[in-house]
Chain A
Amino acid sequence: MDIVSKLVDVTMDFETRIFGRKRRVRAVDRVSLEVRRGEIYGLVGESGSGKSTIGRISIRLYKPTKGRVFYGKLDITELPESKLRYLRREMQLIPQDPYGAINPIQTIGEALVEPLLIHYKLSKDEAVEQAHRALEEVGLHPSTEFFTRRPRELSGGQLQRAVIARAMILKPKYIVADEPTSNLDASIRTSIIKLLLDLREKYEQSLLFITHDIALLSLIANRIGVLYLAQLFEEGPTEKIVKNPLHPYTKALLSAIPLLSDELGLEKVYLKGEIGDPSNPPRGCRLHPRCPYAMDKCKTEEPPLIMVNEGRSVKCWLYYNS
């Protein structure tokens, strides 16, 4: 099994200084996961769960506080920027908000040509030609019309296509898509997802798809990882997770989907309260204040990640001893 990106026991702390008082937020807490070659790994969680941070760690935009990050077999945890630069061609990020993703003072054309000129010894004309082809490939046709426009002149869907074009222009093998469609209208979402899937097939890419929308992942992901307050709560093949979720939190996520949760025919689980403060998470199991199945043990001891056959794991005391 070929692995494209691997995080081993990764922890990420952020320090903020507000009025002289230091606050430490642990955005990621001892998470290990791997993205296999050719697969789409869906990472789901609410905002504040740490999923975006994990995405950025896996392409070394952040350096983890603890733990190790691998690209393929290469340990990139401590790699300096100068050496990382070559790898940047192979791993790219597609962000959530297309309007922030391209510098507003650049034209689309300039944004696409820039990475080409930085990484490859091309003439300007060659780079421009490749940029045009990239625009056509993502469906921005005719490319001449979009080349000279600025980001604010494009609609959300068009701009996200341009952002994708730029991400693909260096022909990466590993893409981290961080909520790429959450800011777009429903009628456009599918076409963008389709585009990502088509490009993935064409260029044989592996995808880490980050979202809060588990329904979407159920359709496109091979495996799903469920994140809650910086910890990985459950992981496994998509079909198994959706048809037979183990963790109460996963069950609650699926239960909360309007209209569609009825189709699943699952026992519904409802959580009370809210996700809690990442800088001061609950003791023991982080879900215990909200969990309808919370036992005494959950309040004091953090459950381990338990392997439950066929590549499934759960972080919950309910599955200890089974």
Chain B
Amino acid sequence: MRELFKSNVAGKASRALLNASRIILSNKYILAGFIIVLVFVLMAILADFIAPYSPIEIVGPVLQPPSQKYLMGTDNLGRDVFSRTIYGSRVVLLTTAIAIALSGAIGTLLGLISGYIGGALDRVFSFIMDSIYAFPSLILAIALSVALGPSPINAAIAIAVVYIPTYFRMVRGQVLSIKNEPYIEIARALGIPSTRIVTRHILPHVGRTLMVVFSMNSADAILTEAALSFIGLTVQPPQPDWGFDLYKGRGFILTGYWWMMVFPGFCITLLAVGFALMSEGVSTVISGRKR
């Protein structure tokens, strides 16, 4: 009897962790993707310990090819590309993480409210969201980023805005279908307040699809972030940044200095692939479960 109400935080957290690990280990794609992403996350966290040099200091002669001393060579200013690559993961991951968290939270919240309340409010929100959704995401992100001013936070906000409609539409759609379930009607008949109905009775059902959208969204967001940083709308030099380094490396690749472009580019691709693998796996698992 008492076990039912041991709904303390520790219990919930450990159960969530258990569920998460079960999902991760259940599917090859998820596992592979997760490992890739994990490697980059660790890279970001442990950058201070892994990177041999500081990413912004000039540590050697310019334009050295990869060697034992400079594993990925040096760039046109004499900075270690390897260290820059390692530290560059921080910006990418942080910006993307903030963007996804923002769009997920806001999109879900608005979707819940709009879907449940319906009526004129819903029509207005849907219209706004559809309009944003109709815009090509990259162009919108660039426009917003420019308008807000180049900085990692602003880039995160810009990306977030672009993806809010994705979460909104999905959550709203689910709310609309769940709203008609008998148990929601009975909840009202029992006098359960709307806020509780939405949070305790509707939101948990949305969680599953939310996971799928979440993972698909991450893959997208990584690439959008890379695009923004390519244009220089995230961090400013001399901060290390994959996208911007990629941009800088363009001028040198034709003259044979490939290492400034290839390594950051490879990392962007690999990270995006990691997220894409996870999203593939998650949607397979979730749709398999639904049956």
For the complex, count residues of B whose C-beta is within 8 A of A: 21
From A59, A85, A97, A170, give the contact of B182 (CB < 8 A): A97
- For chain A, residues 113 to 144, give those with C-beta under 8 angstroms from any C-beta of chain B: 114-115, 118-119, 124, 128, 132, 144
Taken residue by residue from 39 to 66, chain A's Cβ proximity to chain B (1 for < 8 Å, 0 otherwise) reads as 0000000000000000010010100000
Closest to A85 in B: B191
Is A173 part of the binding interface, using a Cβ–Cβ cutoff of 8 Å? no
Closest to B1 in A: A128
For the complex, count residues of A whose C-beta is within 8 A of B: 35
Closest to A89 in B: B191
Is A109 part of the binding interface, using a Cβ–Cβ cutoff of 8 Å? yes
Question: Which residues of the partner chain B approach A59 to less than 8 Å between Cβ atoms?
Answer: 189
Taken residue by residue from 49 to 92, chain A's Cβ proximity to chain B (1 for < 8 Å, 0 otherwise) reads as 00000001001010000000000000000000100111011011
> Does B4 lie within 8 Å of A110, measured CB to CB?
yes
Closest to B181 in A: A100
Question: Which residues of the partner chain A approach B188 to less than 8 Å between Cβ atoms?
Answer: 61
> Does A105 lie within 8 Å of B4, measured CB to CB?
no
Are A144 and B1 CB-contacts (below 8 A) given A97-B182, A103-B201? yes
Closest to B4 in A: A109
> Does A92 lie within 8 Å of B1, measured CB to CB?
no
Chain B nearest CB from A134 CB (Å) reads 13
Closest to A87 in B: B191
Are A93 and B189 CB-contacts (below 8 A) given A100-B182, A101-B183? yes
Question: Which residues of the partner chain A approach B186 to less than 8 Å between Cβ atoms?
Answer: 93, 95, 101-102
> Does A61 lie within 8 Å of B189, measured CB to CB?
yes
Is B193 part of the binding interface, using a Cβ–Cβ cutoff of 8 Å? yes
Closest to A143 in B: B1
* A-B pairs with beta carbons under 8 Å apart, 20 shown: A56-B185, A61-B185, A61-B188, A84-B191, A85-B191, A89-B191, A91-B189, A93-B186, A93-B189, A97-B182, A100-B183, A102-B186, A105-B204, A105-B205, A110-B4, A115-B190, A128-B1, A144-B1, A147-B4, A148-B3
Known: A61-B189, A100-B183, A101-B182. 8 other contacts (CB 8 A): A86-B191, A92-B190, A93-B185, A97-B182, A114-B192, A124-B5, A132-B1, A166-B190
Using CB atoms and an 8 Å cutoff, list the residues of chain B in contact with chain A: 1, 3-5, 181-183, 185-194, 196, 201, 204-205
Using CB atoms and an 8 Å cutoff, list the residues of chain A in contact with chain B: 56, 59, 61, 81, 84-86, 88-89, 91-93, 95-97, 100-103, 105, 107, 109-110, 114-115, 118-119, 124, 128, 132, 144, 147-148, 166, 170
